[in-house]
Structures are given as C-alpha cells and as structure tokens.
Amino acid sequence: MTAVFLTREPKHAAASERDRLADGLTGLGNLGWMDQEVRRLAAERQDDPAPFTVALANIDGFRPINDLLGQRAGDDILRQVANRLKACLPDGATVVRVGGDQFGFVLPLVFEQKGAEKVGLMLKDVLAAPFEIGERHIRLSASFGFAIYPFAGDDFDALMKSASTALYRAKRRGRAQITIYSEQIALEMRRRTQIEQALRNAIIADEVDVHFQPIVDLTGDRLVGFEALARWHDADLGTISPSDFVPLAEDHGFIDRLTEVLFRKALRAALAWPKDIFLSFNLSSAQFVDLSIASTVVNICRQTGFDPRRLIIEITETAVMADADTAQEIVAEMRAAGIHVALDDFGTGQSSLCRLRDFAFDKVKIDRSFVSRIANDHASEQIVKAIIAMCVGLNLEVVAEGIETPAEAMKLKALGCHMGQGYFYGRPKDVASTLKDLNGPFARGDTKA
C-alpha cells in the first residue's frame, strides 16, 4: 500500500519542501500535499478526463475529548486515526490531515458513487473500533463527504468545495454518515443559502412571527397555557418550516438574535392573557452552552414586565447533553428566578433517565412519536404509561404532545397524564387570533377551538 505521505514524496524534494507539505503531528501530508496530488492527477487526465475522487472526513464529537481528557490525549487519538487510515486505504490513494480533526483523501481508482460509498463504509468501520488512551477505551465515529472529478469540479478548489458541501450535509444527517456530492445536494445547498440570507433580512425587518398552540389540563379539558412557535412566510420563498430555518440560524451564529426577537414578541402577547395562563417557550440547544442565557431570559422578562413565574422554558435532551455541567447551571439559575423548566421530546434521547435524575426539571413533555400510536399500539401505550408513572414518582408534571384524535386524548386521560397539546385541542394561531379565542371559546371552557 502507498497511502503514506512520505512514500509518494519525490526523492529530489528539498527538506524545506518536505516540511512545507507535511503535518507535524501525524506525519501525513497536509492540505498543500493534497492540492499537489489533485493537480497532478487532473493534469495526467486532462486529455481523457477519467474520474477520480477526493474526500473529507471529520471526527464526530471530537471536541469533548480534548475538553475531558486534555490536548495530549486528543493528539494521541489523531495519530491513531492517521495510522489506521494509512493502513487501510487502497493502492495509490493518499490521506492527509487537513487540520484539526479533519482528514482528506485522494482516491485515483475510485470512479463512481458506488465505489466511493464502499470506501466510505470501510473507513467508517475502521474508525469505529475503540481507541486506547492509557487505560481508557474511547469510541468515536466519523462523517464523510465525497466529490468525484470532473462532475463535482474540475480543479482542486472546486472539488474541495463540493467535498465540504457533502461533508456538511453528512454532519447534518447525524453521526457516522456518508454523503456523495450530487447536483441535488448542490440545489439544496443553494436553497439553504437563499433561506439563510432571507432569514437574516426577515429578522431585521421584523417579519418572523410567533404563533401559539394551546396546552390543556386533561383532567377537565381546561386551558392552562400556550406554547410559542416560530412562523415565517417569505414573499419569494413561501412558507419556511422552523425545522428548516432554526437550524440555519444555529449553524450560522444568529440564533441568539432570532430567539430574542421571538421571545420578546411572545412575552408582549402573553401580557394580555389572564394571569393564570402560562407561556411555554423553546430555547435552542446551541444556546445551552452559554451561561449568560439564563440572565438574558430573566432580564427580558424584567424589561417587558412579564412575571417569570408564568414562564416555562423548554429544552431538549440534545441541549442538555451538549454540555451537561453548563446546562445544569443554567437550569438552576432559571429555576432560582422562578422560571419553570421542561424537558422536551422525552423518550427520543440517549440518556433521558440520567437527565431526570441529575436535573431539577418541573415538567416532562412526552414526544409525539409515542402519543400518535398510543391508541392502537400496545408498546407505545406501555412506554407512555411507564413515563407517566415515573414522573408521578418524581413529582414531575407530564405534558403529552401531538394529540390529534379523541381516542388519543381518552387514552392519555385514562393513564393519568396531566396535560396535553395537539391539533385535537387547537392548532397554532397568531397573536390576534389567540387573544380572540381567549375572549371567546376558551373563556367558555371549549378547549377545542
């Protein structure tokens, strides 16, 4: 095998040239070496442009390794990664360290998508085996983005941009994912860019709106609160789902601004509600790594005149798991200010029981994926039943999300669920419609407005 950087180095190369093209930590080549290899292959195949492939790999969740075990341990893992990659690549292939926990590949004999996927699966499996750091065994995964010459680009910069786009797409899909660059992905990324720019402008122009979905006390079908939900309609792009634009705001660093705009709107609207109606508001997982978020929330309550005791902040387990110590401190600070905290989407995470034990939550929201099947799926019913019983034992209130039918509502009531929300009890409505309902059907006790 000839994947090692030094085996492909011209014998006449000067020491300074070797140093310029080498990665000091791993002994692999660096980005300059990868550039040189791609240019060489492209020149060789200029007259008859036979395909070849470049790829980028990124170690998933590498940052906590440095934070928990120290940089020396992180460097040791990177060297182990490099050694594994060198040992398993196909003949003629090159692996380099691009920087940080990212590696690059030039694969001269990979001509099409199936071949790229096969190599990606092999590399993924190689890196999935435990890494030894002293007496510790660390398990990691990696995500991969592939770009095939000349379809994804006919020079180094274009190929790297395409591989980066594919890698970004792979990371968005979760851990240990493989993505091959395609025209469809390019179109999706262009649309994401359009949405991002439009969203920035919409925030400035105050065009992102907030709607409210009712939350009811299931014991008497009585309205007790509303959850604030982001809504955005763009004149050119149409209606954009929060599942599309919120991650964009997180990825591009303006989620704080978007959240603040929506939070202030929600609080001002809720000031007109009866004082016994609470407001539930979601914070992004990206914000739960910043200790200042608690004081920001409290200060905005103070500025708007909203009683923090009427506020419930919803966080997902993803937010808690990103930095558990910081999240725990944020939760404690909010609760000290009188704000209630709910764990959202319960049952979909990886360590929910541990989080219930370690964090002082006030409410747990059962994910709609369980609620939607509760009336005709025994397993879902038993899971919901167990969650409710556990929360009762922990003195936690339970809210079931996604109730859409009378059968689901009746089943949840029979199981002793405290509260619920969903289309059966009401769809999200704008500020004016919500206030109108409060003075109309909700005031008369009709929660199915």
What's the rounded Cα separation, in Å, for the pair 119 and 107?
Answer: 9
pLDDT in tens, 124-177: 999 999 998 888 888 899 999 999 999 999 899 999 999 999 999 899 888 899
pLDDT in tens, 369-385: 899 999 888 998 999 99
> What's the CATH number where 321 sits?
3.20.20.450
- How do beta strands 363-366 and 238-240 pair? unpaired
pLDDT in tens, 56-82: 999 998 877 777 778 888 999 999 999
Range of the domain at 151: 5-181
> Looking at the structure, do residues 159 and 53 belong to the same domain, yes or no?
yes
What is the pLDDT at residue 443?
66
Q: How many CA atoms lie within 13 A of 441 on its CB side?
A: 11
> Looking at the structure, do residues 231 and 324 belong to the same domain, yes or no?
yes
Q: How many CA atoms lie within 13 A of 295 on its CB side?
A: 3
> Looking at the structure, do residues 132 and 41 belong to the same domain, yes or no?
yes
> Of 125, 155, 181, which residue sits at a domain end?
181
Query: Cβ–Cβ contacts within 10 Å for residue 294, how many?
Result: 22
Q: Is the pLDDT of residue 351 over 80?
A: no
Q: What pTM, to 2 d.p., does this model score?
A: 0.76
What is the pLDDT at residue 1?
36
- How do beta strands 340-346 and 136-138 pair? unpaired
> Looking at the structure, do residues 157 and 302 belong to the same domain, yes or no?
no
> Looking at the structure, do residues 229 and 370 belong to the same domain, yes or no?
yes
Amino acid occupying residue 29: G
> Looking at the structure, do residues 90 and 226 belong to the same domain, yes or no?
no
> What's the CATH number where 104 sits?
3.30.70.270
What's the rounded Cα separation, in Å, for the pair 162 and 113?
Answer: 14
Residue 382 lies inside a defined structural domain of this protein: yes
pLDDT in tens, 429-445: 999 999 998 987 776 66
> Looking at the structure, do residues 344 and 420 belong to the same domain, yes or no?
yes
Q: Is the pLDDT of residue 8 over 50?
A: no
> Looking at the structure, do residues 233 and 373 belong to the same domain, yes or no?
yes
What's the rounded Cα separation, in Å, for the pair 107 and 3?
Answer: 10
Of the two residues 46 and 32, the one the predictor is more confident about is 32
Range with the lowest mean pLDDT among 9-23, 190-204, 277-291, 317-331? 9-23
Q: In the chain, what percentage of residues exceed pLDDT 70? A: 93
> Looking at the structure, do residues 223 and 349 belong to the same domain, yes or no?
yes
pLDDT in tens, 199-247: 999 999 999 999 999 999 999 889 999 999 999 999 999 999 999 999 9
One-letter-per-residue 3-state SS of the chain? CCCCHHHHCCCCCCHHHHHHHECCCCCCECHHHHHHHHHHHHHHCCCCCCCEEEEEEEEECCHHHHHHHCHHHHHHHHHHHHHHHHHHCCCCCEEEEEECCEEEEEECCCCCHHHHHHHHHHHHHHHHCCEEECCEEECCEEEEEEEEECCCCCCHHHHHHHHHHHHHHHHHHCCCCEEECCHHHHHHHHHHHHHHHHHHHHHHCCCCEEEEEEEEECCCCEEEEEEEEEEEEECCCEEECHHHHHHHHHHCCCHHHHHHHHHHHHHHHHCCCCCCCEEEEECCHHHCCCCHHHHHHHHHHHHHCCCHHHEEEEEEHHHHHHCHHHHHHHHHHHHHCCCEEEEEEECCCCCHHHHHHHCCCCEEEECHHHHCCCCCCHHHHHHHHHHHHHHHHCCCEEEECCCCCHHHHHHHHHHCCCEECCCCCCCCECHHHHHHHHCCCCCCCCCCC
> Which of 86, 66, 111 lies closest to 8 in space, CA to CA?
86
Place of tokens 């009712």: 214
> Looking at the structure, do residues 69 and 130 belong to the same domain, yes or no?
yes
Total structural domains in the chain?
2
Residue 186 lies inside a defined structural domain of this protein: no
Length of the chain: 449
What is the pLDDT at residue 152?
92
> Looking at the structure, do residues 177 and 218 belong to the same domain, yes or no?
no
Q: Is the pLDDT of residue 312 over 70?
A: yes
Q: Between the ranges 70-74, 271-275, 322-326, 366-370, where is the mean pLDDT highest? A: 271-275
